[in-house]
Amino acid sequence: MASFSLDDIRNAAEARYGSTDIELGDETVRLLNPLRLPKDTRTKLSQLQDDMGGEDADQEELLSEAIRLVAEHAAAADKLLMAVGGDLAVLAEIFDRYGKGAQVGEASASAA
């Protein structure tokens, strides 16, 4: 029978569902994997992603709000967004890289 410590499981979860880290000078901003977020935050993130497809969607506002939701700390999100300065292309690239990193850890439906 296999035996694992909780620390082993936590380390495996971090390796598999780790954050997307963005270096910002001497600081690192961590964008947490959706599976590491509270359920209400995951729901808000999902709604924001749905809203991004809308015809009149303010992409800069929605991407900024998404970063605020997934950032480990509000202050870190504010610093990152201030450094980006409203550049929509940079915001889109950040969210794209975040999405690619999060896909690795997405739960998949099991085959019946």
Tell which residue, 68, 65, 64, 49, has the closest CA to residue 106.
49
Residue 30 near residue 71, CB atoms below 8 Å: yes
The DSSP bridge partners found for residue 71 are 31
Whether 32 contacts 102, CB under 8 Å: no
CA 34 distance to own-chain centroid: 6
Of the candidates 21, 18, 22, 33, the residue with the CA atom closest to the CA atom of residue 83: 22
Q: What is the pTM of this model?
A: 0.81
Binned average pLDDT, 10 residues per bin, the chain of 112 residues? 92 90 94 94 92 89 95 95 96 91 51 38
pLDDT for res 103:
65
Whole-angstrom distance, CA of residue 49 vs CA of residue 11: 29
pLDDT at position 76: 94
How many other β-carbons are positioned within 10 Å of the β-carbon of residue 67?
22
